[in-house]
Structure 1
Amino acid sequence: MYPDMPLDSVKLKDDFDGVHFGLYANHKLTGVVSLFSQGDVYQFRKLAVLPEAQKLGYGTKLMEYILDYCKIQNATELWCNARVNAKEFYFKFGFSETEDTFYKDGFDFVVMELAF
């Protein structure tokens, strides 16, 4: 996610409350995403694919998986803090851009949401 930062920089205090998914390619952990819920509203965080494996469809596979997972859980909404330069990726899955934006760790973010 942030290859120039220490591993502790991506740890969150509520990590143990989430469901964490990993995608393996050729027996190597290649992509990850974490999913958190508050009732029937879900948030995903830390969607990441190894740099050398990007643009191969692994991010799409992770998104499709968590979308299916949320539907099975009867989620009413899924949202994320998306990097502004990646928001087109989320549009492909039906996410809408909100007016909520912020700057963190050198990146501009926008909150994106999807209603089920």
Structure 2
Amino acid sequence: MLLRQRVLWPNETTEFCRVDGDEDASHFGAFINDNLVCVASVYLTQGKARLRKFATDTDYQNQGVGSKMLSHIIQSLKSTEANLFWCDARESALDFYRRFGMTPYGVRFYKQDIPYFKMKLTL
């Protein structure tokens, strides 16, 4: 929870980063030298897998850690009943998600003044 809060919402409390359904989600973590450097959660509902709270420590960004994490998640979803993978992506990260074949849909929306788009990938 601390990594998510520090990277995604540094001006909020750790409680702000909790999501309904956390106890039923699949949680992923990447470690380097026993340090947690990347986290993501996937919520599977009715054939749709939603990525939430995906964060990489700023000291490890642009080094491929998040890319390896997302590749692993997408690959692991192919053995589930999920046929759609989607997320709310910060506008600043659209190119990152596009590299994995995800496409934006809908209109721009905001969460606390931060612009987002929905992105999806058919599995």
Runs of 4+, deviation exceeding 3 Å: none
Q: 2:85 aligns with which of 69, 78, 82?
A: 78
Gaps of 5+ in 1: none
Q: Which range is displaced more, 77-86 or 9-18? A: 9-18
Q: 1:55 aligns with which of 30, 45, 62?
A: 62
Deviation string for 1:62-97 (max 9, x for gaps)? Answer: 101110111011421100000011000000000011
Residue aligning to 1:106: 113
- Cα deviation, residue 52, structure 1: 0.8
Q: 1:40 aligns with which of 31, 44, 47?
A: 47
Deviation string for 1:15-61 (max 9, x for gaps)? Answer: 11211111101110000000001122110101100011111101101
Residue aligning to 1:26: 33
Structure-1 separation of matches of 2:20 and 2:42:
14
Q: Which range is displaced more, 105-114 or 27-36? A: 105-114
Q: Does 1:69 align with 2:76?
A: yes
Q: 1:97 aligns with which of 97, 104, 109?
A: 104
Q: 1:3 aligns with which of 5, 10, 13?
A: 10
Structure-2 separation of matches of 1:42 and 1:108:
22
Gaps of 5+ in 2: 1-7
- So what's the TM-score if we normalise by structure 2? 0.89
Structure-2 separation of matches of 1:4 and 1:53:
21
- Cα deviation, residue 3, structure 1: 2.4
- So what's the TM-score if we normalise by structure 1? 0.94
Q: Calculate the aligned-residue CA RMSD, in Å.
A: 1.1
Equivalent AA in structure 2 for residue 115 of structure 1: T
How many residue pairs were aligned? 116
Identical amino acids, percent of aligned pairs: 29
